Amino acid sequence: MKNWTKKFRIPPGKRIRLEDWPTAGGDGMEKSEARRRLEIIGPQMADWQHRLYAEQRRAVLVVLQAMDAGGKDGVIRRVFTFLNPQGCRVTSFKTPTPSELAHDFLWRIHQAVPARGEVGVFNRSHYEDVLIVRVQNLVRQKVWEQRYDQINDFERMLTENGTAIFKFILHISREEQRQRLEERLRDPSKHWKADPADARERECWDDYIAAYEDAIERCGTPWAPWHVIPADRKWFRDLAIAEIFLEGLRSLRPQYPPPKVDLSKIVIR
């Protein structure tokens, strides 16, 4: 498949119905083929990351959002481990601490954005402040309503300062989520992930879908576009994100910088 970005990128400001958006991509593709392809493009991701790192001019920010059990951890483990850890930083955003809550909602986010030369991966992000915060009424509507514009301004400021932003929603079906949450109860190696909050949040599925649709429409911008990835099949999800990340990184054309000094003057004895 070609043009992964085009296929899954949502045009700025477009409203989509997530219900109509596929959750099970990969028709016509075999799992083994997808895994093989990932092994080929993983090192290419690392190669371009190396140039980004050497160049020290721009940064790349990847935002991962999903319903519970949507596969954010899996994507980080399967896709972003191809990168050199020296230039890659993953940040997981949990329930804000009292100190975080004492600041504006973007305060903790800004501290975690990647430095020049780095790739930053957000496992959850500032979008929680218009998702769970909205669904669970953690602040007044007037407050979360303002956040869409505030997020757009913040993301535009980041891109104007050299940070390219790629946002992903891992889109799973309600049935797939049920199976994954049940698996957390069944499989001892997943018990540590089981959380009563997951069952509670699941009850609010429709409210979350509405909140996601608004975030896609109101915060899909030319400078920080959303990609909605069919995520029921893990192998397809991983490949799609790797391909889109690679296409995005490549399009920045990071270059090895010229030498800082006159190399002919350096004598190695």
The token duo for 132 is 């769970």
In contact, 96 and 38? CB cutoff 8 Å: no
When the beta carbons of 122 and 166 are compared against ligand ATP, the nearer one is: 122
Count of helix runs (H) and strand runs (E) in the chain: 11, 5
CA-nearest of 171, 169, 164 to 248 is 164
Q: Which stretch binds ligand ATP (CB under 6 A): 93-101, 151-159, 171-179, 230-238?
A: 93-101
The token duo for 264 is 């002919």
CB of 71 to ligand ATP, least distance (A): 8
CB of 175 to Mg ion, least distance (A): 19
Residue nearest to Mg ion (CB): 195
Sign of CA pseudo-dihedral 234, 235, 241, 244:
negative
Site string for ligand ATP, 95-134 (x = CB under 6 A): xx---------------------------x---xx--xx-
In contact, 116 and 162? CB cutoff 8 Å: yes
User: What are the start-end ranges of the E strands in the chain?
Assistant: 59-66, 88-92, 119-123, 163-171, 226-230
Site string for ligand ATP, 50-89 (x = CB under 6 A): ------------------xx---x----------------
When the beta carbons of 30 and 195 are compared against Mg ion, the nearer one is: 195
In contact, 67 and 128? CB cutoff 8 Å: no
CA distance 117 to 161: 13
Go through 44-67 and write b for each residue having 16 or more CB atoms within 10 A of its CB, e for each that does not.
Answer: ebeebbbbbbebeebbbbbbbbbb
CB of 193 to Mg ion, least distance (A): 7
**Position among 93, 148, 154, 223 found at the interface with ligand ATP (CB under 6 A):** 93
In contact, 224 and 154? CB cutoff 8 Å: no
Q: Which stretch binds ligand ATP (CB under 6 A): 23-31, 154-162, 190-198, 241-249?
A: 190-198
When the beta carbons of 185 and 222 are compared against ligand ATP, the nearer one is: 185
**Position among 143, 157, 197, 199 found at the interface with ligand ATP (CB under 6 A):** 197
3-state secondary structure of 63: strand
**Position among 2, 6, 17, 94 found at the interface with ligand ATP (CB under 6 A):** 94
Q: Which residues bind Mg ion (CB under 5 A)?
A: 195
155 binds ligand ATP, rule: CB under 6 A = no
CB of 126 to ligand ATP, least distance (A): 8
Give the footprint of ligand ATP on this chain (CB under 6 A).
68-69, 73, 93-96, 124, 128-129, 132-133, 138, 193, 195, 197
